[in-house]
Structure 1
Amino acid sequence: MNQISRLSWENAFRLSDFLCWSVFRVVKYRKKVIFENLRNSFPEKSEAELHCIAHDFYRHFTDLIVETIKFRTATPQCVRERIEGDIGMMEKYYDSKTNIIYLMGHRGNWELANLFSSLCFTHECIVVYRPLQNQASDQWFHELRTRFGAKLVSMDNIFKELQKPRDKPYVVVLANDQSPNPKTAFWTQFLHQETGVFRGVETIARRYNLTVLYADFSKVANKRGYYHVEICTITDKPKEVPNNAILETQLRILQRDIENQPHNWLWSHRRWKHKRPEILKPEQLLR
């Protein structure tokens, strides 16, 4: 990995092209999962259209691999330059001493987004993660994600962490589009499918009265490895909105953004591996 991190960006993307060919054309990594996800999410598209999306996704996927390795040693200036967009609202929230929960989906390069947040936000940056079983990999990502001062906290410990006294406002950063436990998830329609969503965001926002923001990271056309961030406010009054309305709003925005740039999402993930239970508890519904 050290050798890859020292490559120029031009040569890093040449390596990505080779990986794209070997991983998806030769090994055919998760091809069945990718096409099942695409067909279910875009039933109106032809097979030719789906193959175009898949082809672009393959390149995006291997770009993420080499970019992430590069960001392990990239300079702060390089990280700042790779994301464009207006983040001025974050300073306004900081000046008003507003604590924030900052949601993302698996669009763009989320490792870059984490680094960008810890570099460019004045808030204390708390990144929520799920520890990896492989200790070496977990340590590598821990060092990556904390290299510019972010605090890495597992989801199991986030409530305890937010109870600690602080000298300045904080922002909790997390991606919230993984596949959750179906027995505790919020269930809704997403990309034409019954979809479960982690409810932790709702609980955290309500308990600590956090303003909820959503950030989308789209790929900049004809600028490989560059992204554009668009931040919007879901709610600044989380205790006053209906149960699971935060999650519902997040998914509607995420679906819109996926439809606008469909190759820019993690289609290789088994997002819909769980089925909706026949009977749901009240807290699992929008109400």
Structure 2
Amino acid sequence: MQLLAYILIYPILWLVSILPFRLLYLVSDGIFILLYYIIGYRKKIVYSNLQLVFPNKSEKEIILIQKKFYKHLCDMFLEMAKTMAISETELKKRFVLLNPEEFQRLESLNKSILLMYGHYASWEWSLVLQTYTKFKGFGVYKKLANIHFDKLVRDIRSKYNTQLISTKETISVINQSEAEGNKSITAFLSDQSPRLTKEVYWGTFMGIETPCFTGAERLAKKLDLTIAYLKVNKVKRGYYEAEIITLAENPKDYKDFELTDIFLHEVEKQIYKAPEYYFWTHKRWKHKKRAKS
């Protein structure tokens, strides 16, 4: 059944990947109408999240943000497929790293790097960042249930020599890289909701007291990694700008959860500025204590 699904869907993804961008976004407009007005994919979750985070906004303002988000979501989904065929030259035109010199500076410290991401703007096209660094690239991800699509995702994201690894593999893979004399840069999507346990850290994100993922901070401290944030902004349709913001060169100097809070604050600033580019379909606040003013 998994193979059949792959055989049926892969040709569609490939056709999307070779479309000219102008036509790609026309298709995206059609998918938006289908997804938003007809299927109503996760509209209640998106509306509830926006209402929770922006209690002072009117219903009209919430709906406007919601529509803009769904248009961006459709664009991003097709841009993911486009990654299969896009050239490095074209990708660098559309996903611009504003401060590549910061990569060089961090490399000069001779320490491996942990790069934190938020579910904001586009993280898929950030794979081109590997072309700016000599460090070995690792991306921490959750394996897909369909083994054929999982292989496709790994193949796409390894386009510029980035290796996808599971959370459980992270420490052993980085340690092995170090033992072989290779420094690495490891990417973490760090704003998701963690599994609820007694030991979970309750921080504040978008004014809501909620469990926060602390794996990136703990890993950076355990392995003495430089920790940075990849700030990605959407300039216009199909164009993004990224900036590396170094959070700590020596993470052990910071109190527990301080770096997690700094990271979340960086994501918050972007959301408040342009909320339509955050990934609102996630149940990010499924566990919460109270709203903070």
Q: Which has the higher helix share?
A: 2
Q: Does 1:206 align with 2:240?
A: no
The number of residue pairs the alignment matches comes to 273
Give 1:215's aligned residue.
Answer: 230
Q: Deviations over 1:34-68 (max 9, x none)?
A: 00000001112111111111111011000011101
Q: Amino acid of the residue matched to residue 154 of structure 2?
A: H
Q: Deviations over 1:184-209 (max 9, x none)?
A: 43211111212212221122100111
What SS does structure 2 have at the residue aligned with 1:103?
strand
Q: Amino acid of the residue matched to residue 220 of structure 2?
A: A
Give 1:282's aligned residue.
Answer: none
Q: Amino acid of the residue matched to residue 183 of structure 2?
A: P
Q: How far apart, CA to CA, are the structure 2 residues paired with 1:157 and 1:107? A: 25
**Alpha-carbon contact 2:232-2:240 (below 8 Å) kept:** yes
Q: How far apart, CA to CA, are the structure 2 residues paired with 1:21 and 1:134? A: 28
Give 1:227's aligned residue.
Answer: 240
**Alpha-carbon contact 1:117-1:125 (below 8 Å) kept:** no
Give 2:272's aligned residue.
Answer: 259
Q: CA RMSD in A?
A: 1.3
Say which of 177, 183, 205 aligns to 1:169: 183
Output aligned runs, 1:129-168, within 5 Å: 129-164=141-176, 165-168=179-182
Task: Give the superposition deviation at 1:169.
Answer: 2.1
**Alpha-carbon contact 1:214-1:250 (below 8 Å) kept:** yes
**Alpha-carbon contact 1:105-1:177 (below 8 Å) kept:** yes
Q: Deviations over 1:200-243 (max 9, x none)?
A: 112210011111101111110xx311111122111111111100
Q: How far apart, CA to CA, are the structure 2 residues paired with 1:133 and 1:145? A: 17
What SS does structure 1 have at the residue aligned with 2:49?
helix
**How high is the TM-score relative to the length of structure 1?**
0.92
Q: How far apart, CA to CA, are the structure 2 residues paired with 1:44 and 1:96? A: 45
Q: Does 1:192 align with 2:207?
A: yes
Report % sequence identity: 27
Q: How far apart, CA to CA, are the structure 1 residues paired with 2:203 and 2:132? A: 34
Q: How far apart, CA to CA, are the structure 2 residues paired with 1:239 and 1:192? A: 27
Task: Give the superposition deviation at 1:74.
Answer: 1.1
**Structure 2 spans left out of the alignment, 5+ residues:** 1-12
Give 2:284's aligned residue.
Answer: 271
What SS does structure 1 have at the residue aligned with 2:202?
strand
Q: Amino acid of the residue matched to residue 203 of structure 2?
A: T
Q: How far apart, CA to CA, are the structure 1 residues paired with 2:180 and 2:218? A: 20
Q: How far apart, CA to CA, are the structure 2 residues paired with 1:236 and 1:148? A: 26
Q: Does 1:106 align with 2:135?
A: no
**Structure 1 spans left out of the alignment, 5+ residues:** 277-287
Q: How far apart, CA to CA, are the structure 2 residues paired with 1:21 and 1:185? A: 40
Q: Write out the 4+ residue segments of structure 1 that deviate beyond 6 Å after TM superposition.
A: none
Q: Deviations over 1:116-173 (max 9, x none)?
A: 2222222211111111112222122111111110011111110111111233321111
Q: Does 1:13 align with 2:25?
A: yes
Task: Give the superposition deviation at 1:263.
Answer: 0.4
